[in-house]
A and B are shown apart, each in its own frame.
Chain A
Amino acid sequence: MSASNGTKKNMNLKLLVWRQSGGKDKGKMTTYQANDISPDMSFLEMLDVVNENIIRDGGEPIAFEHDCREGICGSCGVMINGVAHGPDEGTAACQLHMRSFNDGDEIVIEPWRARAFPVIRDLVVDRSALDRIIAAGGYISVNTGNAPDGNAIPIPKEMSNDAMDSAACIGCGACIAQCKNASAALFTSAKIAHLALLPQGDPERGERVIRMVAQMDAEKFGSCSNEGECEAVCPKEIQMTNISLMNREYERAILANKK
């Protein structure tokens, strides 16, 4: 990071990559050589280079998900040496640069591992479970056209900022991948917190948390052990306090629940 442009020379790296041709294939780790890698490349650009070489050699390139490459779409995400999104904190894999590595390094690249995230191919996993958690209640039920004036309800700046902190989640799934229990607590709680902190979200608070937690459970994610590994790898630095907020919301909801 502190290295300035040009001070670091191009590197040769050994990659150990998970290859799996499809959902039914068993898959295995395969070794690739990544040569002449510029430290200014992003991690995904390094994979691009490796893939171009694989194609030229007549092989099939490594499938990995990516899109915006500026750390906001949440598409990318692989385990890099056992750490979701790699060694830089608060950084998605697409914004991780090769200057974080050294010449001769061996890099182990694996897909997110969780029962709820079946591998589709190579490093691509199915994260639709996260969509289903949102669908279960991660919204404010307001039809288009129903809205009062934007300034009808003043919202304290601090409250709005807190909600924004939670709402910054990009849904990449790193928290789940890193958690020893493959728990989706940070993801789910970030949305619950975002909406529970705002007055607009208040009427549905109870129902929302009960339904989202039930869905999270149904997707077979593990439980939260409060270790905070999720917070450590979150590219948007979502905090664990969201999880305790979710727990609090949940208690409040089940105690008040009439059904």
Chain B
Amino acid sequence: MLAKLRFNNVVGKKIVMAITGLAMCIFLVGHLVGNLLLIWGKDKFNAYGSFLISLPIVPIIELGLLAILLFHVWDALVLLKGNYEARPIPYHSKTWGRTKSKKSKKTWASTFMMTSGIIILLFIVFHVWHFKYHNPVASRPVGDGHNSSIVLFPGQPTVGQTTSGQNSGKEAFDLAQLVVNELSNPIVAGIYILCMITLALHLYHAVSSAFTSLGANHPRYQKGLMWFGNIFTFVVCGGFTLIPLLIVLKVVQ
């Protein structure tokens, strides 16, 4: 099917990159909205969490997200290989690669897309493990806020009962408390914040670039799309950064 639709070339792959990337951006918006509930109130957040878990479609969406991610990563790697091979002999000049022209959209962000992508991938793996599979004792009392379970406690059970939607509920699984517990550790919060900055770096180039790859770029809308990309990046990444920041600053407890 895909071969028939001819996605298997440099243009097609970039279209796949753009579609999968933008899909993940949409996910990010949903994710962010949910997370921000934490600032509004822990119970709101937990209610939202249990509502999500009660939906039977969630595992399918999760699988879908995984597939999208894999497509995105796989195509990125294939394109990287192709791009690497497209210029086997590098330039001698050290000033190559940056024209200093106003027309160039080359930035730190665009230059280090692959690096930021890899960091984000590692972060996703960690993040999913951290809040989904690495299930610390959720109902443990909050205490001083320093008993973050991420601190390496070997032998901690990583699979909890909470993934089954049945015995969910505030008493059984206080996700909000878990988040607060975890992110109270400044190191963990720092990791999250750094990763969000990396994500911002990635999205800063990626969003507007995705529109170009999809062909939505147009002399008249070009500026608007650039701004949309920048604002989107700022709002999403800023929003995600806000949560660990507020927790570390003890605004959210």
Contact = CB atoms under 8 A, between A and B. Distances in A.
In the complex, A touching B (Cβ < 8 A) = yes
B37 interface: no
A144 B104 CA distance: 41
A251 B96 contact: no
Contacts of A243: 212, 217
Interface stretch (A2-10, A31-39, A215-223): A215-223
A228 B98 CA distance: 10
A226 B86 contact: no
Contact count band on B: 35 or more
A224 to B, nearest CB: 6
B42 to A, nearest CB: 42
User: A-side binding surface: helix, strand, loop or mixed?
Assistant: mixed
A48 to B, nearest CB: 22
A76 B14 CA distance: 31
A240 to B, nearest CB: 7
Most buried by A among B79, B83, B98, B102: B83
Interface string B208-243: 110111111111001000000000000000000000
Interface stretch (A64-72, A109-117, A132-140, A149-157): A109-117
A249 B215 CA distance: 8
A74 B172 CA distance: 72
Nearest to A16: B92
A180 B97 contact: yes
B110 A227 contact: yes
A226 B215 contact: no
Interface string B88-101: 11111111111101
B95 A247 contact: no
Nearest to A223: B10
Interface in A232-254: 232-233, 239-241, 243-251, 254
Given A223-B10, A227-B105, A241-B222, A113 B110 contact: no
Contact of B96 (A82, A221, A228): A82
Given A110-B93, A247-B14, 9 more contacts: A82-B94, A181-B83, A224-B14, A229-B106, A231-B103, A243-B217, A244-B212, A248-B214, A257-B6
21 contacts: A18-B92, A79-B93, A83-B95, A115-B85, A180-B111, A182-B87, A210-B6, A220-B85, A221-B10, A223-B11, A223-B14, A223-B83, A226-B209, A228-B105, A229-B99, A231-B104, A232-B101, A241-B218, A250-B12, A251-B214, A254-B5
